[in-house]
């Protein structure tokens, strides 16, 4: 299983990586723009913090197939572990097809709202498929249903792609997709923090600590 943070906030990534077994981070142009840094500053800063151990998903911003392929090649040539994100619409699917037939570059098909987009991206060889769970729900449609159908197609046809489910707005959504057997999810930092929060455990630990310290002081003693 691969767990990602959906963020370009280096402070948040660093802080959350202490408790989370992160495979890497995912970004999109909106997320990267909010970091206030260009890729040429942000990528080395991320690599410095994690010594190159994190996988980074970076989206193309070009709009034509030809320009998306060119950007993908540029990203893949950088000295980082980059997965190139390409939108799963017609020009993007054409770019994915071209890239996967001609180059050995990891690709994620992004902005998936419909099952058929994910299926076609998988047939074109996309390594990851990113359905936008909460955004689908916000259209009055069934995000969990789309994720479940895609997972069923991957399993049934032994497709080469893994689901990397994106766009979460609460912990319940995350737990629901995990039950479907998806290969990866990407969490916004606030959802990651919500998953780490356990106030009842905090209270229990505080009570244990008070009871122990009342008798023995601050630490375990073996004498």
Regarding 130 and contact with ligand E4P (CB under 6 A), the answer is yes
Interface stretch with ligand E4P, choices 117-125, 128-136, 154-162, 173-181 (CB under 6 A) = 128-136
Among 5, 6, 82, 117, indicate the residue that binds ligand E4P (CB under 6 A): 6
What is the residue whose two structure tokens read 């630990």?
Answer: 205
Q: Quick check: 134 binds ligand E4P (CB under 6 A)?
A: yes
Measured CA distances, 190 to 9, 66, 168, 195 (Å): 12, 36, 10, 9
Candidates 65, 117, 124, 167: give the one binding ligand E4P (CB under 6 A): 167
- What CA–CA distances, in Å, run from 146 to 8, 94, 165? 27, 22, 10
Q: Tell whether residue 28 is a contact of ligand E4P (CB under 6 A).
A: yes
Residue 85 annotated as catalytic: yes
CA distance 154 to 146: 12
Using CB positions, name the residue nearest to ligand E4P: 166
Q: What mask of x and - would describe binding to ligand E4P in positions 179 to 208, judged by CB under 6 A?
A: -------x----------------------
Among 135, 193, 194, 195, binds ligand E4P (CB under 6 A): 135
114 counts as binding ligand E4P under rule CB under 6 A: no
Residues 28/56, Cβ–Cβ less than 8 Å: no
The stretch near ligand E4P (CB under 6 A) out of 44-52, 76-84, 127-135, 155-163 is 127-135
Q: What whole-number distance in Å separates Cα of residue 95 and Cα of residue 124? A: 9
Length of the chain equals: 223
3-state secondary structure of 109: strand
Number of CB atoms found within 10 A of residue 182's CB? 22
Cβ closer to ligand E4P: 102 or 187? Answer: 187
3-class SS at 141? coil
Which is closer to ligand E4P, CB of 169 or CB of 180?
Answer: 169
Residue 132 interacts with ligand E4P (CB under 6 A): yes or no = yes
What pairs with residue 193 in β-bridges?
A: none
Cα–Cα distances in Å, from 185 out to 2, 39, 98, 143?
A: 7, 23, 26, 14
The residue count for binding ligand E4P (CB under 6 A) is 10
Which residue numbers are catalytic? 85
Using CB under 6 A, list all residues that contact ligand E4P.
Answer: 6, 26, 28, 130, 132, 134-135, 166-167, 186
């Amino acid at each position: 299983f691969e767990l990602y943070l959906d963020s370009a906030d280096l402070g948040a990534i660093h802080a959350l990586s202490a408790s989370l077994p992160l495979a890497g981070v995912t970004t999109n142009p909106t997320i990267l723009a909010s970091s206030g840094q260009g890729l040429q500053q942000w990528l080395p800063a991320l690599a410095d913090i994690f010594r190159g151990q994190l996988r980074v998903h970076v989206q193309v911003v070009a709009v034509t197939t030809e320009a998306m392929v060119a950007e993908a090649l540029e990203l893949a040539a950088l000295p980082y572990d980059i997965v190139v994100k390409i939108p799963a619409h017609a020009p993007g699917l054409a770019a994915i097809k071209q890239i996967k037939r001609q180059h050995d570059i990891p690709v994620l098909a992004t902005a998936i709202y419909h099952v058929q987009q994910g299926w076609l991206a998988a047939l074109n060889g996309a390594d990851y498929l990113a359905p936008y769970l909460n955004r689908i729900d916000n259209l009055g449609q069934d995000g969990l249903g789309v994720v479940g159908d895609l997972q069923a197609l991957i399993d049934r046809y032994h497709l080469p792609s893994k689901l990397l489910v994106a766009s979460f707005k609460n912990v319940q959504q995350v737990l629901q997709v995990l039950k479907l057997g998806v290969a990866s999810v990407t969490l916004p930092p606030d959802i990651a923090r919500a998953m780490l929060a356990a106030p009842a455990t905090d209270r229990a630990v505080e009570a244990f600590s008070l009871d122990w310290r009342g008798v023995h002081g601050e630490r375990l003693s073996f004498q």
